[in-house]
Chain A
Amino acid sequence: MGAAAIALLVFAGAFVVLFLWAIGVFNSIKRKEIAAETAWSDIDVQLKRRYDLIPNLVNTVKGFAAHEKETLDAVISARAKAVNTSGVAAKAQAEGELSQVLGRLMMLSEAYPDLKANQNFLALQEELTSTENKIGFARQHYNRTTQQYNEQIETFPGVLVAGLLGFKEREYFELTTEAEREAPKVQF
């Protein structure tokens, strides 16, 4: 075998190794991208859970505090607005407002001992607390997966593969207003 043939073989071998390595990096990036996308849609699942809870909650509160019409209407309209809003930033804003009016509704229950003792209401209250937490945790998880993805496509060697195949940086979920930053935790 001539020297040229050996050189060719070495070259071809190096190329195959490089190619396999690039596939590995690509798969790793792709897996992280899918994880981030899944995390994003998981937030929607929790938001949907909250929409489903609200009519039930409003009806229960109505039974004990029908004259708190203003707050109840505010909850219903905030829900409708959140359901119908699209676009990441606008949606986040609408969801934030919904969290706030819901907080007000729950606060109001303090004034109604019968309501506070109602089993149905207590169960809904627990579900609402849990859903609010789940929304928060789902967002937190989304940001973590996004960070992992962004880190990989911005550092070596991911940056080479990402640049070549057009992987774009993903946006973090950020709360838009100062009021929302004040932990949208519902306190009872």
Chain B
Amino acid sequence: MSEAIHTENPAIRGLPPNVTFHDLIRRNKRRSALLMVGMGLLVIVVGMAATALLAVYTGVAGDSVNLVQSLLLGGVAAAIVAAIAGTWSFYGGSKAILALSGAKEIAKKDDPQLYNVVDELAIAAGIPPPKVYLIDDTALNAFATGRDPQHAAVAITKGLRAQLSRDELAGVMAHEISHIRFYDIRFAMLMATMVGLIVFASDAALQMMRIHLWHGGGRRSSRRSSGDNKGAAVLMIVVFILALILMIIAPTLAMMIRMAVSREREYLADAGAVELTRYPQGLIGALEKLGACREPLEAANRATSHLYIVNPMKSALKGQGHELSSVFRTHPPLHDRIARLHALMAPPAASNRPRPATEASRGRA
């Protein structure tokens, strides 16, 4: 039977050698903790800079003692803000993401089959069944979120739900449940909420800078006392530092988003899905349908795009199919993922051969 997969341990062949699921989970937990600490420090630095800027602008920091005081005050205030934001990200992040995506929780009676499929795969993964959400959008996509398998949710668009057969739905849900059991969701959730907060904060800082330059410029021209001149000098330094910080933040953010959604993560979730369903055709069929769709998901944005099973952004959909390698591409090309799934089905000896399935699916993608 050609469709029988060799089940000694199909997932292991999709993984880099010597990497166990246990290692994946540990790595994700470690990265999540690092992210929390790193973001906390970043918020404190930005907070200190912003307070100093404010102090100088309002003229309080005329002498250096006051400047140090305001820096300290800013640091403490930012630490408090960071602690609150971190706690919120960890405990409320998934709710915020689901609300932002326009996802509505459903009960079993609303869609017994979807509910059953999720339940089945939770049993296969040995985790408590996650909550099930529907997104009222005709675009094709799905994602999982939450802080751990005990507090997790899966969401799927109505469009994708309607197009998939039971087996394909199982493939998609197995992929999402693999994200849950590997703790990808924790890292991705923290990333989404913190990127959102940082973007908000740096927007506010930029706004302040703009206002300041506007007024500060005017003030300098109307000659004042020497104290004001001294303040203006400190102020220029602070503005420079803040601009520098913002310049560092932007590419770092982009880098971290790419890290969160590394192709490896998606490949591993695909492999993990097959380990659960033992039926790669289901996920392959679903990915082919996802590849054929050109419709972007309206509720997705740059902070949440990495959560989804395929990139929901308009720009990404234009790029699909071309071999265009973009630094902004957060997901591996679909035909590559499909080819790897086909490789999981092939007997080990045959996996060295060139795979004709790649060409076929490339034509479709």
Report yes or no: A137 in contact with B121, Cβ–Cβ below 8 A: yes
Contact of B112 among A35, A127, A141, A145 (CB under 8 A): A127
Report yes or no: A39 in contact with B126, Cβ–Cβ below 8 A: yes
* Chain A 131-172 interface 0/1 with B at a Cβ cutoff of 8 Å (1 = within): 001100110110011000000000000000000000000000
Q: How would you classify the secondary structure of chain A's contact residues: helix, strand, loop or mixed? A: helix
- Complex interface: chain B residues within 8 A of A137 (CB): 120-121, 123-124, 276
- Complex interface: chain B residues within 8 A of A134 (CB): 119-120, 123
CA of A112 to CA of B125, assembled, Å:
37
Q: Does B64 contact A (CB under 8 A)?
A: no
Tell me the count of chain B residues lying within 8 A, CB to CB, of chain A. 14
CA of A137 to CA of B177, assembled, Å:
14
Report yes or no: A141 in contact with B125, Cβ–Cβ below 8 A: yes
Q: Does B113 contact A (CB under 8 A)?
A: yes
Contact of A126 among B112, B124, B126, B276 (CB under 8 A): B112
- Complex interface: chain B residues within 8 A of A59 (CB): none
- Complex interface: chain A residues within 8 A of B166 (CB): 129
A113 → chain B, closest Cβ, in Å?
21
* Chain B 97-137 interface 0/1 with A at a Cβ cutoff of 8 Å (1 = within): 00000000000000011001101110111100000000000
Q: Does A180 contact B (CB under 8 A)?
A: no
A86 → chain B, closest Cβ, in Å?
23
Closest chain B residue to A140 by CB distance?
B124
A-side interface size class: 10 to 19
CA of A16 to CA of B34, assembled, Å:
33
Q: How would you classify the secondary structure of chain B's contact residues: helix, strand, loop or mixed? A: helix
- Complex interface: chain B residues within 8 A of A138 (CB): 123
Report yes or no: A130 in contact with B124, Cβ–Cβ below 8 A: no
Q: Does A123 contact B (CB under 8 A)?
A: yes
Q: Does A42 contact B (CB under 8 A)?
A: yes
- Complex interface: chain B residues within 8 A of A141 (CB): 123-126
- Complex interface: chain A residues within 8 A of B116 (CB): 126-127, 129-130, 133
Closest chain B residue to A135 by CB distance?
B123
- Complex interface: chain A residues within 8 A of B120 (CB): 130, 133-134, 137
CA of A129 to CA of B278, assembled, Å:
16
- Nearest 4 pairs between A and B by C-beta? A137-B124, A130-B116, A133-B120, A137-B123
A-B contact pairs, 22 of them (CB 8 A): A39-B126, A46-B123, A123-B112, A126-B116, A127-B112, A127-B116, A129-B116, A130-B116, A130-B117, A130-B119, A130-B120, A134-B119, A134-B120, A134-B123, A137-B120, A137-B121, A137-B123, A137-B124, A141-B123, A141-B125, A144-B126, A145-B126
> Interface of A with B (CB < 8 Å)?
35, 39, 42, 46, 123, 126-127, 129-130, 133-134, 137-138, 140-141, 144-145
Q: A35-B126, A130-B113, A141-B126 are in contact. List 19 more A-B contacts (CB 8 A).
A: A39-B126, A123-B112, A126-B112, A126-B116, A127-B112, A127-B116, A129-B116, A130-B119, A133-B116, A133-B120, A134-B119, A134-B120, A134-B123, A137-B121, A137-B124, A137-B276, A140-B278, A141-B125, A144-B126
